[in-house]
Amino acid sequence: MKRDQEYKVWQDGNQVIIIFSANFFYQKLNYIHNNPVKANLVVNPEDYMHSSARNYADLDYLLEVIIEPQQLITFS
């Protein structure tokens, strides 16, 4: 794959991060849900039809997702 393209959809590389706590999980989930807001596509995360924020807001959605409860089970 050519890495020095003029136009890209994705950034090069990735960074794997282990979800180590419920707080960290919800921090990342909120970050993802707020991307369309930050991009000025919608006013609220749940307004973006392609977001799982709609599932969490109990609105109509395009894709069914597993809703994580506020209290995640953690293993030591």
DSSP per-residue codes, 50-68? TSTHHHHTT---SS--PPP
pLDDT in tens, the chain (76 residues): 555 667 777 777 778 889 888 889 899 999 999 999 999 999 999 999 999 999 999 999 998 999 987 765 566 5
Q: Has residue 37 been placed in a domain?
A: no
Say how far apart CA 43 and CA 22 lie, in whole Å: 26
Say how far apart CA 21 and CA 27 lie, in whole Å: 10
pLDDT score of 20: 87
For the chain, what is the domain count? Answer: 1
Which candidate, 39, 16, 40, places its Cα nearest to that of 28? 16
Q: Which domain holds residue 65?
A: 43-76
pLDDT score of 15: 81
Say whether pTM exceeds 0.75: no
Q: Do the beta carbons of residue 35 and residue 41 sit within 8 Å?
A: no
> Encoding tokens for residue 68?
């994580």
Q: Has residue 73 been placed in a domain?
A: yes
The single-letter code of the amino acid at 40 is: N
